[in-house]
Amino acid sequence: MKAFYKSPLSRITDRKLLFAILFALSLGFIANSIASAQGPTPTDDDVNRIAKQLYCPVCESTPLDVCPTEACRQWRDLIRTMLTQGKSEAEIKQYFVEQYGARVLAEPPNRLVAYLVPAVAILLGALLLFRGFQMWMKPSLTESSAVDSEREAKPSQDPYVARLEEELKKRK
């Protein structure tokens, strides 16, 4: 096995080579970080992730990520550009709302009213049902007493029985 042996001259050349490589690498890192400050080119998936949450401003009920028209393609490019500039998802959505109106969002901005009304309606319905239950269940407890009092209170329809009852009452 030949020992790995370098001459003094080659050692200096090695060091220069090493420095050159290190220098090139650092340049590379700096360049990369400059590029990263702008952001790497957003992939289609990054664009779609945001476009999925938006609706095409012109077409009817079409999400922005699947809309095939030229205009939609331009909007998706706009999202890509904004992502490259480092804008966040919220900022991009905000921009779209400012430009095209609230209907470009998949949910109304005033979410409270949207969710509150059906929730209240459903609770009211459940409440009504529950009270209906209670009213059903209550008469079964008081029914027996009510029926007895009815029997006593209501005079008999048959005239003969009525007279008989009157006679009985008199005898008592």
Partner 1 sequence: MIANFGFGVLFITFLVTLYSVFAAIYGDRKQIPAMVESARRAMLLTWPLLTLTAGVLIYLLVNNHYEVQFVYEVTSRSMPTYLKVTAWWGGQAGSLLFWSWLMSAFASLVTLRKWDRDREFLPWVIVVACVTMAFFIGMNVFFENPFAQLYQTTAGIEPHTFHPANSILFTPEDGRGLNPLLRHPGMIIHPPMLYLGFVSFVIPFAFAFAALITGRTDDRWIRLTRRWALWAWLFLSFGLVLGSRWAYDVLGWGGFWGWDPVEIAAFMPWLTGTAFLHSVMIQEKRGMLKHWNMLLIILTYDLVIFGTFLTRSGVLSSVHAFAQSAIGPLFFGFIGFTLITSVALIIYRWNSLKSETEMTSMLSREALFLLNNLLFMSILVVCFWGVIFPLISELFTGQKVTVGPPFYERATAPLFAALLLLMGIAPLSAWGHSTVQTLGRAIWKPTLGAVAITALLFVTYTQKIGALIGFFLIALVILVTIYEYLRGAYARQRSQGENIFTALWTLTGRNRRRYGGYIIHLSMVLMAIGIIGIESFQVETQGRIGVGESLKLSNYTVTYKELASWDDQPKGVNFTRAVVDVSRNGVYLGQLHPRRDYYYDSQQAMTIPGERATLRDDLYVLLIDWEPASTTGATFKIFVNPLVNWLWLGSFIFLAGIIIAAWPEKEMERVAVPARRTIQQTSAAD
Partner 2 sequence: MTESSVAAPRRGVPIWVQIIIWVFLVGLLAIVALGLKRAQQGTVQPGQVIKNFTLPLYSGYDLGGKSEIQLQDLRGKVVVINFWASWCKPCEQEAAEMQQAWTEYEPTGKVVFLGVDYVDTEPQARVYLKKFGINYTNGPDLATRISQYFRIKGVPETYFVDQDGVLQYVQIGPFTSIDQIRAQIDPLLK
Residues at the site binding partner 1, with contacts judged by CB under 8 A: 43-45, 48, 55, 60-61, 63, 66, 68, 101-110, 114-115, 117-118, 121-122, 125-126, 129, 133, 136-137, 139-140
Cα separation, 6 vs 119, in Å, equals 82
Beta bridge mates, 63: 55
Minimal CA–CA distance to 67: which of 34, 113, 42, 104? 104
Cα separation, 34 vs 104, in Å, equals 34
Give the footprint of partner 2 on residues 121-140 (CB under 8 A): 128-129, 131-132, 135-136, 138-139
Residue 105's binding partner out of partner 2, partner 1, none, with CB under 5 to 8 Å set by partner kind: partner 1
Tokens of 41: 């080119």
Helix/strand/coil for 156: coil
Residue 137's binding partner out of partner 2, partner 1, none, with CB under 5 to 8 Å set by partner kind: partner 1
Closest CB to partner 1 among residues 31, 146? 146
The amino acid occupying position 62 is T
Compute the least distance from the CB of residue 45 to partner 1, in Å.
5
Residue 71's binding partner out of partner 2, partner 1, none, with CB under 5 to 8 Å set by partner kind: partner 2
- Based on the shown chain and the rule CB under 8 A, indicate whether residue 95 belongs to the binding site for partner 2: no
Cα separation, 29 vs 130, in Å, equals 69
Residue 25's binding partner out of partner 1, partner 2, none, with CB under 5 to 8 Å set by partner kind: none
Tokens of 85: 């500039």
Closest CB to partner 2 among residues 10, 85? 85
Per-residue DSSP letter, 41 = P
Cα separation, 18 vs 1, in Å, equals 26
Binding site for partner 2 (CB under 8 A): 57-58, 69-71, 74-75, 77-78, 97-102, 128-129, 131-132, 135-136, 138-139, 143, 146
